[in-house]
Chains A and B, each alone.
Chain A
Amino acid sequence: MTDLTKLTLAEARDGLAKGDYTSVELTEAHLKSMDAHRNLNAYITETPEKAMEMAKASDAKRAKGDAGKMEGLPIAVKDLFCTEGVQTTAASHILEGFKPEYESTVTSNLFGNGAVMLGKANLDEFAMGSSNTSSYYGNVVNPWKDKSGKDLVPGGSSGGSAAAVAADMALAATGTDTGGSIRQPASYCGIVGMKPTYGRCSRWGIVAFASSLDQAGPMTKTVRDAAIMLGSMAGHDAKDSTSAPIAVPDFEAALSGDIRGMKIGIPKEYRVDGMPEEISKLWDEGVAMLRDAGAEVVDVTLPHTKYALGTYYIVAPAEASSNLARYDGLRYGQRVMDEGDSLDDMYMKSRAAGFGKEVQRRIMIGTYVLSAGYYDAYYNKALKVRRRIYQDFEGAFGQVDAILTPTAPSAAFAIGENEGDPVKMYLNDVFTVPASLADRPLSRRTAAGSTADRQAV
Chain B
Amino acid sequence: MTYILEGSTGPWEIVVGLEVHCQVISNSKLFSGASTKFGNEPNSNVSLVDAAMPGMLPVVNAECVRQAVKTGLGLKAKINKESVFARKNYFYADLPQGYQISQFDKPIVGEGTIILDMPDGSTKSVGIERLHLEQDAGKSMHDQDPKYSHIDLNRSGVALMEIVSMPDIRSPEEAGAYLTKLRAIVRYLGTCDGNMNEGSMRCDANVSVRRPGEGFGTRCEIKNVNSIRFVMQAIEIEAKRQIEVIEGGGTIDQETRLYDQRLGETRSMRSKEMAHDYRYFPDPDLLPLVFDDAFVSEIEKELPELPDEKKARFMRENGLSAYDAGVLVAEKEKADYYEVVAKGRDGKLAANWVITNLFGALNKAEVGIADSPVTAENLGKLIDLISDDTISGRIAKDVFEIMIETGGDPEKIVEEKGLKQITDTGAIETAIDEVIAANPDKVEEIKGGKEKMLGWFVGQVMKATGGKANPGMVNKLLRDKILG
Let me know if B55 and A208 touch, CB within 8 A. Answer: yes
Q: Select one of A238, A242, A379, A454 contacting B285, CB under 8 A.
A: A242
Instruction: Confirm or deny: B99 has a beta carbon within 8 angstroms of a beta carbon on chain A.
Output: yes
Q: Select one of B26, B48, B89, B149 contacting A322, CB under 8 A.
A: B89
CA distance A238 to B59 in the complex (A): 8
Let me know if A205 and B284 touch, CB within 8 A. Answer: no
Instruction: Confirm or deny: A212 has a beta carbon within 8 angstroms of a beta carbon on chain B.
Output: yes
Q: What are 26 contact pairs spanning A and B, CB under 8 A?
A: A104-B55, A205-B56, A241-B58, A241-B285, A241-B286, A241-B287, A319-B281, A319-B284, A326-B52, A328-B98, A441-B287, A445-B60, A445-B288, A446-B290, A446-B292, A447-B65, A447-B290, A447-B291, A447-B295, A448-B62, A448-B291, A452-B62, A452-B63, A454-B33, A455-B28, A456-B36
CA distance A330 to B97 in the complex (A): 11
Enumerate chain B residues within 8 angstroms of A90, measured Cβ to Cβ: 54
The segment from A112-120, A276-284, A304-312, A367-375 that touches chain B is A367-375
Q: A241-B60, A444-B290, A447-B60 are in contact. List 6 more A-B contacts (CB 8 A).
A: A241-B285, A370-B281, A372-B277, A379-B281, A453-B62, A453-B63
Enumerate chain B residues within 8 angstroms of A203, measured Cβ to Cβ: 55, 57
Q: Select one of B66, B96, B289 contacting A331, CB under 8 A.
A: B96
As a 0/1 sequence over residues 95 to 123 of chain A, the CB contacts with chain B under 8 angstroms (1 = contact) are: 10010111010000000000000000000
Instruction: Confirm or deny: B123 has a beta carbon within 8 angstroms of a beta carbon on chain A.
Output: no
Max chain B C-beta neighbours (<10 A), residue from A242, A331, A456: A456
Enumerate chain B residues within 8 angstroms of A242, measured Cβ to Cβ: 284-287
Max chain A C-beta neighbours (<10 A), residue from B61, B89, B281: B281
Q: Select one of B35, B57, B290 contacting A240, CB under 8 A.
A: B57
Max chain B C-beta neighbours (<10 A), residue from A344, A367, A453: A453
Q: Which residues of B from 9 to 60 have beta carbons under 8 Å from A?
A: 26-28, 33, 35-37, 48, 51-60
Enumerate chain A residues within 8 angstroms of B219, measured Cβ to Cβ: none
Enumerate chain B residues within 8 angstroms of A81, measured Cβ to Cβ: 55
Instruction: Confirm or deny: B91 has a beta carbon within 8 angstroms of a beta carbon on chain A.
Output: yes
Let me know if A448 and B98 touch, CB within 8 A. Answer: no
Instruction: Confirm or deny: B64 has a beta carbon within 8 angstroms of a beta carbon on chain A.
Output: yes
As a 0/1 sequence over residues 417 to 451 of chain B, the CB contacts with chain A under 8 angstroms (1 = contact) are: 00000000000000000000000000000000000
Identify the B interface with A (CB < 8 A). Answer: 26-28, 33, 35-37, 48, 51-66, 87, 89, 91-93, 96-99, 149, 151, 277, 279-281, 283-292, 295
CA distance A308 to B483 in the complex (A): 108
Identify the A interface with B (CB < 8 A). Answer: 81-82, 88, 90, 95, 98, 100-102, 104, 203-208, 210-212, 238-242, 318-319, 321-322, 324-326, 328, 330-332, 343-344, 347, 367, 370-372, 375, 379, 441, 443-448, 450-457
Let me know if B93 and A446 touch, CB within 8 A. Answer: no
Q: With A203-B57, A208-B55, A451-B61 as given contacts, are A445 and B286 in contact (CB-CB < 8 Å)?
A: yes
Let me know if A444 and B279 touch, CB within 8 A. Answer: no
Let me know if B281 and A322 touch, CB within 8 A. Answer: yes
Tell me the minimal C-beta distance from A332 to chain B in angstroms: 7
Let me know if B60 and A450 touch, CB within 8 A. Answer: yes
Enumerate chain A residues within 8 angstroms of B26, measured Cβ to Cβ: 453
Let me know if A453 and B96 touch, CB within 8 A. Answer: no
Q: With A322-B99, A330-B96, A456-B28 as given contacts, are A239 and B59 in contact (CB-CB < 8 Å)?
A: yes
Q: Select one of B53, B54, B91 contacting A328, CB under 8 A.
A: B91
Tell me the minimal C-beta distance from B279 to chain A in angstroms: 4
Let me know if B93 and A330 touch, CB within 8 A. Answer: yes
Q: Select one of A238, A328, A343, A371 contacting B279, CB under 8 A.
A: A371
CA distance A37 to B285 in the complex (A): 38
Q: Select one of B64, B98, B290 contacting A326, CB under 8 A.
A: B98
Nearest 4 CB-CB pairings of A with B: A325-B98, A453-B63, A211-B284, A212-B284
CA distance A379 to B281 in the complex (A): 9
Tell me the minimal C-beta distance from A221 to chain B in angstroms: 28
Enumerate chain B residues within 8 angstroms of A328, measured Cβ to Cβ: 91, 98
Let me know if A204 and B290 touch, CB within 8 A. Answer: no
Q: Select one of A82, A240, A372, A446 contacting B291, CB under 8 A.
A: A446
Q: Select one of B66, B89, B96 contacting A447, CB under 8 A.
A: B66
Tell me the minimal C-beta distance from A91 to chain B in angstroms: 13
In the complex, residue of chain B having the shortest beta-carbon distance to the beta carbon of A242: B287
Tell me the minimal C-beta distance from A339 to chain B in angstroms: 9
Enumerate chain A residues within 8 angstroms of B35, measured Cβ to Cβ: 456-457
Let me know if A453 and B61 touch, CB within 8 A. Answer: yes
Enumerate chain B residues within 8 angstroms of A238, measured Cβ to Cβ: 59
Q: With A204-B57, A242-B285 as given contacts, are A454 and B89 in contact (CB-CB < 8 Å)?
A: no
Tell me the minimal C-beta distance from A159 to chain B in angstroms: 20
Let me know if A210 and B284 touch, CB within 8 A. Answer: yes
Enumerate chain B residues within 8 angstroms of A325, measured Cβ to Cβ: 89, 91, 97-99
CA distance A347 to B92 in the complex (A): 9
In the complex, residue of chain A having the shortest beta-carbon distance to the beta carbon of B64: A453
Enumerate chain A residues within 8 angstroms of B98, measured Cβ to Cβ: 322, 324-326, 328
Enumerate chain B residues within 8 angstroms of A372, measured Cβ to Cβ: 277, 279
Q: Select one of B59, B89, B93, B283 contacting A370, CB under 8 A.
A: B89
Let me know if B87 and A322 touch, CB within 8 A. Answer: yes
Q: With A325-B97, A343-B93 as given contacts, are A100 and B288 in contact (CB-CB < 8 Å)?
A: no
CA distance A183 to B150 in the complex (A): 45
Let me know if B59 and A451 touch, CB within 8 A. Answer: yes
Let me know if A239 and B54 touch, CB within 8 A. Answer: no
In the complex, residue of chain A having the shortest beta-carbon distance to the beta carbon of B35: A456
Let me know if A326 and B62 touch, CB within 8 A. Answer: no
Q: With A207-B55, A211-B284, A331-B51 as given contacts, are A371 and B291 in contact (CB-CB < 8 Å)?
A: no
Let me know if B99 and A450 touch, CB within 8 A. Answer: no
Q: With A453-B28, A453-B61 as given contacts, are A326 and B97 in contact (CB-CB < 8 Å)?
A: yes
CA distance A331 to B46 in the complex (A): 13
Tell me the minimal C-beta distance from B32 to chain A in angstroms: 9
Tell me the minimal C-beta distance from B283 to chain A in angstroms: 8
Enumerate chain B residues within 8 angstroms of A344, measured Cβ to Cβ: 91
CA distance A379 to B284 in the complex (A): 13
Max chain A C-beta neighbours (<10 A), residue from B56, B280, B284, B289: B284
Let me know if B65 and A450 touch, CB within 8 A. Answer: yes
Tell me the minimal C-beta distance from A184 to chain B in angstroms: 22
Tell me the minimal C-beta distance from B142 to chain A in angstroms: 11
CA distance A347 to B90 in the complex (A): 12
Q: With A318-B281, A456-B36 as given contacts, are A444 and B287 in contact (CB-CB < 8 Å)?
A: yes
In the complex, residue of chain A having the shortest beta-carbon distance to the beta carbon of B61: A453
In the complex, residue of chain A having the shortest beta-carbon distance to the beta carbon of B55: A205
In the complex, residue of chain B having the shortest beta-carbon distance to the beta carbon of A81: B55
Enumerate chain B residues within 8 angstroms of A452, measured Cβ to Cβ: 62-63
CA distance A398 to B53 in the complex (A): 41
CA distance A454 to B57 in the complex (A): 17
CA distance A247 to B305 in the complex (A): 45
